Structure 1
Amino acid sequence: MNSKASPTSHSTTTEEVVNFLKIKENYPDSPDELEVIETHMSWVFLTDNYAYKLKKQVIWNSLDLRLPEIRYRNCRDEIRLNKAMAEKVYIGLTPVNILETGKLKIGGKGKPVDWLIKMKRLPEDSMLDWALKHRCLHFPDIRRAAVALAEYYRRQPSAEWDYHRHQTYLADEILKVKKELLSQEYGMPPDLILYITVTLLRFMKENGEMFEQRINSGKIIEAHGDLKPEHVCLSDPPVFIDCLEFEVTLKIMDIAEELSYLALGCEMLDSEPTGAYFIKIYKQLANDKIPDTLILFYKCKQALFRAKFSLWHLKEEKYKNDPKWGKLGEKYLEMARKFVEKLPY
């Protein structure tokens, strides 16, 4: 593995690299099987023992991955940041090289045309989402993961954040997601969107002291940023993978918000008690008396954002005729309704 090599501008199309990586014989570990997963931002290639992630040449918010040197830096950032919660999982950076013959090769000699994040492959049945879907949770596993997460939060320093900045940032996020969801192309109910977003903004205004207290007590940290059940491995010790790596601001959040996001993911898999247990263990170990209304606020906010991300798939040629994304957006919006109706009016 030549992770210290510099990125180059050798022209090879993404399609050529992806097609090369879809052939199991091209991998140095000689796998018996190869599984290929496409996400919005990446291609993931699963061999018997490893996972290789290739970044897509996409633009998302402030992230522009069209240039190889940017993808190189982004991969390095992802490895560095994920070491904090999954040190032994993230192995390093592996180049996809081009030889003088024009053939591609993973690692070894040649000139790099793109980069792979190489990870240890985690057993599918050890992931929290798999355990929830198959109804095979084991209490010791959940407790161990909840304690590890609480300990991680305890070690994190508080972010340099102030009340005005926090309130402005949250309000801007809610207004932006409102505008997005009101787009006619999605066909979402405008009255419901307005009801939810107006209620969230009013809750912020009427509970300013609560938000200020969270900041003053150091509960705003640089968090994982994308803590979904599929990113929680119930191993011993537990690991938490795929943290958000491309925009630090998006990772600055109240611990209560990140726990609410995880709880939302558990509820979407019909296991509300699991998410509640993670919150309970954190509150006990940190002696952090998070108000129940704050959890509801953040669950609602995050449900709106998941609705937006689901509906964004309808803009892509590959997914625009797939009804599941619209249905998923509707489901998240209904979850947001459920949460907001429990907030004090």
Structure 2
Amino acid sequence: MTVSALTSRTTGHWAAVRETHIGSVFLVGDRAYKLKKPVDLGFLDFTRRETRERVCHKEVTLNRRLAPDAYLGVADVTGPDGQVCDHLVVMRRMPDDRRLATLVREGAPLAGTVRDLARVLARFHDRAQRGPEVSAQGTRDAIRARWRASFAQVRPFHGPVLDADIAAEIEQRTEEFLAGREALFEHRVNTGRVVDGHGDLLADDIFCLDEGPQILDCLEFDDHLRWVDALDDVAFLAMDLERLGARELGRSLLDHYAEFSGDPAPSALRHHFLAYRAFVRVKVACLRHQQGDDASAQLARDYADIALRHLRQGVVRLILVGGLPASGKSTLAGALADHLGATVLRSDRVRKELAGLPAEQSAAAEYERGIYSPEHTKRTYDELVRRAERLLAMGETVVLDASWNSAEHRAVAAALGTRTHSRLKPLRCWAPEATTSTRLASRKGGISDATPRIARHMATHVHPWPDAHVVFTAGTERDSLTQALAYLD
């Protein structure tokens, strides 16, 4: 490409300057020259020339992993006396009209591009460096330390830039999620999900060229911030697409990435990493505001809104769905699990598993006899709680389908919610007796052994459940689901 052709496709200017919080980029002809600012921002210190030189060389080496033809090398800057006074990263200048952020803003069709990016990133992460030192940065405690460091750096901007209540809720929800999810992050480490990644995936730094995407500007100044969970890495770009108004493209990126990488991460972890990446940009925007960029204040607030939205969506919940036989609880529990991507555990199935019986085999007996004795019922509820605890610790929302007639059993479930820092959401299904009687009389197959006689006995032994939200289930499944979701949200 000639310089004149490149100029017409970029800014319209042969030369231009762009500035970030840590450097300046000089665009000249078909080259881009990056200069590090001599600043100390706490999480980086570029005040010494020797440090800037080392980081420039590291930037070239690291970025050649994803853009081998874009990074040309490092040039020295000399003063009038001939002495070296600084250093520049030298790059091919990329066409602005092929910048991913530009294409998103223009509404270009990008479904195929996003799929290609997901494939490239999955392959990059598959080949990325791993090891004990890298893995240590993916533990729950390491991630929490990074969050807390960002909280501390942003706190002086509460009020002047950020709404203090929003910032406080972000901190509270973050701490709650992390407190109960140590097992999840340990599993991620043990299965090799923590890699030497990119660390700073932004749509402004990705160029969609004919020869394939060029992904630039990885995080080079601190290895520890680049050693991340691979899902955390790709979530940065998904979050940035959302910030640009292309939330569906962000979701598609994560879905394709899960397909290509074989990553079964729970949706709560996706939301957590999306929130984390948004808050990283909150911090950057605050620093730019401090450096005199007034427009960055609104940008910080926009990123804070994204972070809070995902922290709310990523809450791990323990949902109790109870009620008398034929009240519609199993139907509602299944619908909730499908809608939320949750795991449903059904007491009827667990009860028979513990007895060594196939779920579909009848074990009908008189009230509180056989496998429905108080002793076996307690075993059943204890097992439900045990299984739920393992899932909640792994970031999975769990729906427990049982009658929940006993206040004692509900207290055990409430303690589980507290222990795993999961939000307890109790739902009690109710339908008129005429409706439940008709349902019981017309039942064929299924795994429940309840009869009208058993239902009448159970109705006289229900402990009060004042904290449960009542769902009227005499209508359609959609009606019941809508009521339940309104309460959960």
Structure-2-length-normalised TM-score? 0.58
Separation (CA, whole Å) in 2 of partners of 1:249 and 1:228: 19
Most deviating of 72-81 and 131-140: 131-140
Match of 2:127 in 1: 155
Match of 2:36 in 1: 55
Match of 1:17 in 2: none
Separation (CA, whole Å) in 2 of partners of 1:219 and 1:164: 11
Separation (CA, whole Å) in 2 of partners of 1:197 and 1:63: 23
Match of 1:257 in 2: 232
Match of 2:99 in 1: 127
When the two chains are superposed, the root-mean-square deviation of aligned CA atoms in Å is 2.2
Separation (CA, whole Å) in 1 of partners of 2:36 and 2:144: 31
8 Å Cα contact 1:163/1:211 also seen in 2? no
SS at match of 2:65: helix
Identity %: 25
Most deviating of 242-251 and 64-73: 64-73
8 Å Cα contact 2:161/2:300 also seen in 1? no
Deviation at 1:117, TM superposition (A): 1.0
8 Å Cα contact 1:221/1:252 also seen in 2? yes
1:176 aligns with 2:157: no
Where do residues 31-110 of structure 1 align in structure 2 (5 Å cutoff)?
Answer: 33-98=14-79, 110=82
Match of 1:145 in 2: 117
Separation (CA, whole Å) in 1 of partners of 2:33 and 2:267: 40
Match of 2:212 in 1: 237
Match of 2:181 in 1: 207
One-letter identity of the residue aligned with 2:46: L
Deviation at 1:32, TM superposition (A): 7.5
1:291 aligns with 2:266: yes
Separation (CA, whole Å) in 1 of partners of 2:260 and 2:272: 23
Match of 2:363 in 1: none
8 Å Cα contact 1:85/1:239 also seen in 2? yes
8 Å Cα contact 2:279/2:304 also seen in 1? yes
8 Å Cα contact 1:146/1:282 also seen in 2? yes
Aligned residues: 302
Separation (CA, whole Å) in 2 of partners of 1:95 and 1:315: 30
One-letter identity of the residue aligned with 1:93: V
Q: Cα deviation per residue 1:118-175 (whole Å; 9 max; x = unaligned)?
A: 1001111212111111111343333322211111111113342557972222222222
Most deviating of 222-231 and 304-313: 304-313
Separation (CA, whole Å) in 1 of partners of 2:65 and 2:206: 14
One-letter identity of the residue aligned with 1:94: A
Q: Cα deviation per residue 1:177-231 (whole Å; 9 max; x = unaligned)?
A: 3333332563533332222222222212222222111111100011101011112
1:340 aligns with 2:308: no
Match of 1:21 in 2: none
8 Å Cα contact 1:150/1:281 also seen in 2? no
Deviation at 1:299, TM superposition (A): 1.2
Say if 1:97 and 1:287 are closer, same or farther in 2 by CA, change over 3 A.
same
8 Å Cα contact 1:159/1:252 also seen in 2? no
Most deviating of 258-267 and 181-190: 181-190
Q: Which has the higher contact order (CA 8 A, sep 6+)?
A: 1
Question: Could you tell me which of 86, 95, 106 is aligned with 1:114?
Answer: 86
SS at match of 1:182: helix
Say if 1:175 and 1:218 are closer, same or farther in 2 by CA, change over 3 A.
same
Separation (CA, whole Å) in 1 of partners of 2:147 and 2:302: 18
Structure number with bigger Rg: 2
Separation (CA, whole Å) in 1 of partners of 2:55 and 2:241: 29
Separation (CA, whole Å) in 1 of partners of 2:123 and 2:138: 27
Match of 1:191 in 2: 165
8 Å Cα contact 2:137/2:227 also seen in 1? no
Separation (CA, whole Å) in 2 of partners of 1:163 and 1:56: 30
Q: Cα deviation per residue 1:224-245 (whole Å; 9 max; x = unaligned)?
A: 0101111222222222110011
5+ residue gaps, structure 2: 1-11, 317-422, 424-489
Say if 1:281 and 1:193 are closer, same or farther in 2 by CA, change over 3 A.
same
SS at match of 1:226: coil
Structure-1-length-normalised TM-score? 0.81
8 Å Cα contact 1:54/1:116 also seen in 2? yes
Q: Cα deviation per residue 1:228-278 (whole Å; 9 max; x = unaligned)?
A: 111222222222110011110011111111121111100000001222222
Say if 1:153 and 1:34 are closer, same or farther in 2 by CA, change over 3 A.
same
Where do residues 9-48 of structure 1 align in structure 2 (5 Å cutoff)?
Answer: 33-48=14-29
Match of 1:6 in 2: none
8 Å Cα contact 2:26/2:34 also seen in 1? yes
One-letter identity of the residue aligned with 2:298: K
5+ residue gaps, structure 1: 1-30, 103-109
8 Å Cα contact 2:78/2:84 also seen in 1? yes
